[in-house]
Amino acid sequence: MVAVARSAILHGAASALLAPLLTVAPNAARADVKEEIRKAASVVPGYGPADLLFPMAFKGRWRVTRQVVDVTFPLGKEKCSAPEAASAERQASQPAVFDVRFVETSDADSGNFVLPDRAFNAEQREAALSGVPIDELEARWSTSNPNVVTMRNRLSGSVTETKVTKRSTETPGENAFGTSEYARVADAGSSGVLGGVPRILATRERSRYRWEGAIPNRIEALEIASLYDPTQTGFADISGATPVLTIKSRLILERAVR
C-alpha cells in the first residue's frame, strides 16, 4: 500500500472544491487563496474545522494572568452543577497564573502564522484553575488532528475529551485578533459522573486580543467562556441554546523569559 501524506489528500480535495473560486477570481492574492484552501479542506469528511492560526506576534511562550470579572448563571444557579458552580466562584476569588505557548506550524500553506500548543496549554491552565499538580495531568493532542484534546487526571482517574466542532476568527483592526470556538466535552470519571457513563457538555469560548508593535511583550485579552448542559436545556443546536454558566475574564499575556 502506498502511503499518502495527509497534506496531499487535503490539497487534492481542497483543489477540487476550490476550482470554481479560482476560475472566478484568478487574480486573488496568494494569502487569500491559501485561506480558502484551508477552509475547503476543513469540510473534507473526517477532518473537521482547521485549527486557529494566530499572528506571528504570538510566537513563543507567555505567562498569563487571568482575572475573572463576572460569573453569571443565566438559567439560575440551581441549573448549574454544584462542582462547576463552586469552581467558577473559586476562579473569581483570585487571579490564576499559568503559561501558554504558540509554535510554528510545518504546514506550508499557513504562511506567517503560529498554532497554540493545545496539550501544553491545556495542562498549564487546568493545573492553575483546578489546583491539581501539573505532574498529575496528561494532555494528548496532535497538530494532525487539532480538534481533539484528551486530558487525564491521574489523581481522580478522570478522562475528559474536548472536541472542537466549530471555530472561527475575526480581525477587528490592526494589532487585534478575535477567536470563537464551540466544543463538545465528554467527562468520564469526574465527581458526579455515575456508572461510568460520560457526562456530555458543550462549551463556547470567545476571546479578543490586542497589542502594540510587531513583536509585543504584552498582549491584553477579554475572554468569555460559556458552559452548556443538555440535561438542563435539551439543546439540539448549541448556537440556539442558553448556557448554564458564563465566565467573563480579563487576561494579560507577558512574554516569558526562558
The owner of cell 509585543 is 216
Q: What are the φ and ψ backbone dihedral angles of 109, each rounded to 5 degrees?
A: -80, -10
Query: Does residue 4 surpass a pLDDT of 90?
Result: no
pLDDT score recorded for residue 189: 67
Phi-psi region of 131 (alpha: psi -120 to 50; beta: other; left: phi over 0): left
Band the pLDDT of 41: cuts 50, 70, 90: very low
Query: Does residue 45 surpass a pLDDT of 50?
Result: no
Per-residue pLDDT tens over the stretch 196-253: 678 899 999 999 999 999 899 999 999 999 999 998 877 766 777 899 999 999 999 9
Cell numbers that stand for 149 in this block:
484534546
Contacts of 136 (CB under 8 A, 6+ apart): 153, 154, 155
Band the pLDDT of 11: cuts 50, 70, 90: very low
Query: Does residue 63 surpass a pLDDT of 70?
Result: yes
Per-residue pLDDT tens over the stretch 141-193: 988 889 999 999 999 888 999 999 999 988 767 899 999 999 999 988 655 44
pLDDT score recorded for residue 42: 47
pLDDT score recorded for residue 179: 96
Contacts of 226 (CB under 8 A, 6+ apart): 203, 204, 205, 243, 245, 246, 247
Give the domain ranges of the chain.
6-41, 54-255
pLDDT above 90: percentage of residues in the chain: 56
